[in-house]
Amino acid sequence: METKYKNIIYVIPALLVATAVCVFLVLFLRSDGKDPRPKLVIDHDGGADDAIAIFMALLYEKAFKGPEVIALTTVHGNVNESQVFTNTQRILNIADRQNVPIYRGSKTSFISNIESDYFFGYDGLGDNEVEEYEPIEAQDEHAAMALVRLARKYEGRLTVVAIGALTNIALAIKLDPRFRSRLAQLYVGAGHIHDENYKEAEFNAAMDAEAYRIITNGSKPEDLSIVPFSPIRKSVTVETDWRLNVLGAIPSTVMQYLNKFERLSIPAQAPQWVLLDPAVMAAAINDSMADWKMSYNSIGLCENRGIATNNFTSEKPNARVLYSMDRDEYKQLLYNIFSHE
């Protein structure tokens, strides 16, 4: 009996050690040997609105243990892709995040572009004197290829936020039809919920209508979340005074630059301030502040080219569409994030 109990004494610690090793290996493999947090890629077109969204993600990661921003991908839109690449380097330098890889993407749409209105200036960032910045070399891989690879590497843990022309995302889907289902979520900022007040095509949707169609064709609500501009305009328009004298008064380097980047666009839309890209990022950060409705979503390619359509009564919805957002929560989120540089 004494020998039996001695054996048990030796066996139990060995089992505990073996269990601990197994748990460690599982966690190690799941986290790729690194930080197990969710991952985030931002596909953008280089405007001041994109800069706000990118800074939101980087600051939220740093101050609130948010998703790890593992890449920025560039696409044509507010400015040409070469200028988007320049602006991406500037943004990462200001944030002191030169370690984030940049993957350069599509310079044109599948078929035809629309002309930018240069709402944020000809350089996309307010046409200011360019600050000194450390050049960041682009990765060799095309943005679409990188998106496919990262979706496979971080399957189920990667969120992609697309806030420019949708060409890169559509190319990724063409390269890997399972691309959308590999993601934790794909957030697309584009289109309107059309009614008598919104009869024109929204900029991101119209910039590459074919790409929009590719993204929605065959999608599922659990894979695709669309944030149209019209409900953002209706529900989270903010007073210019608050943007300048509350949010804009935060004494941080990032906010000082954002005030410069928006020096042309803020007066152009006063007395209200409303941008799509920061709202898309807010929805990705805090999904619960938005009201989502299931819809069969598509887009016109001929007579109603660039006009997004929604069927909220469809029995086969293909997307979640943001219908409204809590304005007070949105403002508080912006203030909280930018107060923690």
pLDDT band at 35 (very low <50, low <70, confident <90, very high): low
pLDDT over 90 (residue 11): no
Encode pLDDT of 206-225 as tens digits: 999 999 999 999 999 999 99
pLDDT band at 37 (very low <50, low <70, confident <90, very high): confident
Distance between CA atoms of residues 235 and 137, nearest Å: 40
Encode pLDDT of 152-199 as tens digits: 999 999 999 999 999 999 999 999 999 999 999 999 999 999 988 888
> What is the structure's pLDDT at 34?
58
> What is the structure's pLDDT at 113?
85
> Count of alpha carbons within 13 Å of 306, Cβ hemisphere only?
17
The per-residue pLDDT of the chain, averaged, comes to 92
pLDDT over 70 (residue 7): no
Cβ contact 204:228 at 8 Å: no
Distance of CA 107 to the CA centre of its chain: 19
> What is the structure's pLDDT at 28?
45
Distance between CA atoms of residues 133 and 86, nearest Å: 10
Write down the residue that tokens 């691309």 correspond to. 179
> What is the structure's pLDDT at 24?
46
Query: Which range among 26-30, 56-60, 204-208, 271-275 shows the weakest confidence by mean pLDDT?
Result: 26-30
pLDDT band at 27 (very low <50, low <70, confident <90, very high): very low
More confident residue, 228 or 18: 228
Cβ contact 63:340 at 8 Å: yes
Assigned superfamily of 33-338: Ribonucleoside hydrolase-like (3.90.245.10)
What the block records as the tokens of 262 is: 């928006």
From 77, 300, 296, select the one nearest 167 (Cα to Cα): 77
Stretch 112-127: mean pLDDT: 95
pLDDT over 80 (residue 298): yes
- What pTM did the predictor assign? 0.90
Helix (H) or strand (E) holding 36: none
